[in-house]
Structure 1
């Protein structure tokens, strides 16, 4: 009787060693059957031999395994099927084979991701074209409310964005469940081409807010995408003084993440007051930088005249907040900078 070695079978699938499976098939005796191979899965991922063969582009092995099993819809622990693997790893020939043999084109893995959504993360136009040819629906949304267009926008894939929008141009205006738009995604991820494309081809306003009140400009400043921020302000008239739900403006979010060049630009180029406070809590950029332990930002703000004596709605100075957050380096910078309160949060 042939003995199945799961580890060897998984390795054979990974390398595309079809001879290993042919040899096993010839030596089957007694109670062992080839179908026993089809129950083998990776312990951590739940990947079957079909998943592994597809992911690695081993078309002949994929064909062989399918001919013996007749099952292309086997799912791993993440809900992924072989077609997800083909789409995500740009295996065009395997994808064609799966679709030709009836694999479900819009099956969902965990978090409701379709093969098309995964393909849009990889910028492979031919994979996207093939999925669309077989009826994949780019308007489907995942659990967060993103459709395939949003995902392509994150990758700055203009060719794919245009291809997806051929079926319905309104998809670019769809909001996620937390109110975020494709423009937010493009700005946050530094996708200059996509930012321009969206603002030229959609109904979205440059000052769109998500459910937290965040604008695309704030996202660009938060991540230090200064050139995108400048385009939003100078070419599309983004409101640099708009506030989110907590009253924070662009200078506050830039200070939170320590974006020094963005802060310099806001103050030097756009004349933003370094001591601008949020309307909800009265905190300034100096308060925020101190709380986050952004020492270089604290130094920069002080060089621009940040007022160390300015208090928030709880009468706390930046030093008080640094002490409460136990940001020792910031405490040392702020000590001796001028009059202050000594409340500890």
Structure 2
């Protein structure tokens, strides 16, 4: 019907967002200002969250995840489309890459375990440097995160196992032993490596 607007689309949802408002939203996500993000959603609608990008292609999830804002992430995940979890910035890094670079385990777990998201497939995405989130965790010397990722990643198709073995055979590998249970309930032990002081390829400022 001409001129009809569905009730589910409020005036706020259709409001125009200025560059300044977009930048303020991303800064709020960077600093974990939940109240400000909620005010933005009330004004512009949740659909506007998915479209926000900074000059490097970073999303609201990049900003919240890279800086370890768990409460804000819990608020955002139900409001954004699941595809936003897989969005890569100009360096081809996802929000999960950033969470691994900065060693935020609760954030990593929420991104991977998001009920409507890609799940463990996120661990297979590689950035422009050819590194997965697991490889970034290893490069950062983050033993706890690398261990958790290896435990949950998909090893059935061989791709995940190959990734874990690549990390384990790094040039500066040290022993970090993890246990993996296969489909038959058998426990396998795997070592993953850790460099001495390898700097991360990409680290958002906190």
Bin the TM-score by the shorter chain: 0.5 to 0.7
Determine if contact 2:70/2:107 at 8 Å carries over to the other structure: yes
**Aligned residues, how many?**
161
Determine if contact 2:64/2:72 at 8 Å carries over to the other structure: yes
TM-score if structure 1 supplies the norm length?
A: 0.42
2:140 counterpart residue number? 122
- RMSD across aligned positions (CA): 3.0
Determine if contact 2:49/2:80 at 8 Å carries over to the other structure: no
The CA distance in 1 between the partners of 2:81 and 2:75, in whole Å, is: 10
1:251 counterpart residue number? none
1:41 to 53, 57, 71: 53
In the alignment, structure 2 segments of 5+ residues that lack a partner are 1-11, 155-159, 180-187, 198-206
2:95 counterpart residue number? 82
2:79 counterpart residue number? 68
Equivalent positions of 1:206-285 (< 5 A) are: none
Q: Deviations over 1:10-39 (max 9, x none)?
A: 1101100110121122234xxxx3222321
2:30 counterpart residue number? 14
Cα offset for 1:117? Answer: 0.6
**Counterpart check, 1:132 vs 2:131:** no
Secondary structure of the residue aligned to 2:147 is helix
Secondary structure of the residue aligned to 1:140 is helix
Equivalent positions of 1:1-345 (< 5 A) are: 4=17, 5-28=21-44, 33-43=45-55, 45-71=56-82, 72-101=85-114, 102-103=119-120, 104-135=122-153, 137=160, 139-140=162-163, 147-151=166-170, 153-154=171-172, 158-160=174-176, 162-163=177-178, 166-167=189-190
Task: State the structure with bigger RCO (CA 8 A, min sep 6), 1 or 2.
Answer: 2
Q: Deviations over 1:175-209 (max 9, x none)?
A: xxxxxxxxxxx8xx89xxxxxxxxxxxxxxxxxxx
Determine if contact 2:30/2:64 at 8 Å carries over to the other structure: yes
Determine if contact 1:116/1:138 at 8 Å carries over to the other structure: no
The CA distance in 1 between the partners of 2:132 and 2:161, in whole Å, is: 9
1:234 counterpart residue number? none
The CA distance in 1 between the partners of 2:48 and 2:150, in whole Å, is: 35
Determine if contact 1:138/1:148 at 8 Å carries over to the other structure: no
Pick the structure with more strand per residue.
Answer: 2
The CA distance in 2 between the partners of 1:3 and 1:60, in whole Å, is: 27
Cα offset for 1:92? Answer: 0.3
TM-score if structure 2 supplies the norm length?
A: 0.67
